Structure 1
Amino acid sequence: MTKISVIIPHLNQPDGLETCLCSLEAQSLQRDLFEVIVVDNGSLALPTEVVARHPGTRLLQEGRPGPGPARNTGVAAAAGDILAFIDADCRAHPGWLDNALNALQSSLPRTVLGGDVRIWHPGDSSLTAVEAYESVFAYRFKLYIERHGYSGTGNLVMFRRDFDAAGPFAGIEVAEDMEWGQRARDAGLRFRYVPEMIVFHPARGSLDELYAKWDRQILHYRHMADGKAAWRLRWIARALLLLASPAAGAITVLTSDRIKGFVTRWRAFAVLCAVRTHRAAVMLTLLRGDRSISWNR
């Protein structure tokens, strides 16, 4: 009987999806213990050929924009009593599902698992500045779980009954991982970080791509701030703190065990300064109005 349903939202990433599905075929967990469901979210061309190369993988479609609705469609079609979420541009460590299953079975009831997301990099070349920065600062799931009480959705595992207790993911108007995490806590669920549950994510290819990621995230925060008391004052204070934050970030860069060498650390710090300045500027600009959100830009 299927134990785990792996759900993958997809939008215009056929090469990444191919890599992701290959990594799932290489899992140490017995193949008949999990199913794979890909939910396309409006791609220019359906990844039909990619999915066809991986027997046992189902392809569904969701017309409402956003990875949240796509994941919800996958959940509705899932046969497993455990749900595992991964993104189409990620690759899973061979022990991902095995470690997730063991951790879930040894956890207290009503526990949601989040794992370690690392930047994928071939070992035969030096890190670019963006790769160095993202190796330190991107996908800090341990921090998200232990300090902020939620897990990112690119490496998330839970019993289906616990997903149902919190309800479906929201759309692109909010940061769906944070919003779902809040509802999960309100429903009495707890989050646990599992470092052995490893997923790899490619770094963004340029500073502009990094800016675009943060632009989308800041718009989510802006939508979530609407209607809250004195949100403008808190928004301005947060933007100003961002401008000053690279000083503290330098310590994180210097002490991180995810990068090595002075040049690599300097590159990471330079991108940190650029990103934090960009984020602060965008936040202050959004005081004058709002913009629509598009996912996976």
Structure 2
Amino acid sequence: MPTISKALLNSVEQLAGQAGEAIMQVYRRGFEVELKADNSPLTEADKAAHVRIARGLQTLTPKVPILSEEDTQSFKGANAEGLYWLVDPLDGTKEFIKRNDEFTVNIALIAQGKPVLGVVVAPALQLTYLAAEGLGAFKVNADGQWQAIQASLPPQVGRPWRVLGSRSHPDPRMAAWLEALGEYETQPMGSSLKSCFIAEGKADVYPRFGPTSLWDTGAAQAIVEQAGGQVVTLDDQPLSYANPQQLLNPDFIVWGQRTSEKCIETRK
């Protein structure tokens, strides 16, 4: 198993940053949009970022297989140690096409079904979040320094829940869930940035109803968990990556720190 270290995390951060640069080259000059077999959009930027990341990870950890959204066929499963890289070269392709800047590069290391390292880069917004088990969770500030981040405690009485929702994937079940939550205010947002904002303490909860894939959540989950938050299914089990042949996630909730009775009640 590669040693989970600051050096490894730094290498993955640099690789995600390079993929972000490749994406921005396409973003600035215009692009055509294809449709994949599932009718999801694909652009030249998705492909360029995938190639950059796949080559970099193969050099960095040649014995760790890679599951990327843009190359699921080459992935034959985790290695003998239960390890694999989980990659979304361009998360939020719809946001990329809309040119609202809310798209990310996601790279996670999965060990025994759990994300133990994650990097999320939002190149158009110049935001980077990263975390690793035993090291903590960080946001990279303007001068390139890692600043530790922590998820917020649940809101005190009198303050509404700060809820993040999907910008491009609304779901009617959200309304019923929010009604049970109590007083709240919502903000729509694209890509894995929603989970990163939970990790940073900028929001309290992100409920996700409807389809997502493993690569949409792995990197951000590592960041949320190392920042003291949780990513759990509706029956309150951690979102798992132990069966990568099952590419779709169940519905899930991203919480900040969960210590209050109110927080416990809302998830029943």
User: What is the TM-score normalised by the length of structure 2?
Assistant: 0.30
Instruction: Work out which of the two has the higher radius of gyration on C-alpha atoms and give 1 or 2.
Output: 1
Instruction: Select the structure that is richer in strand.
Output: 2
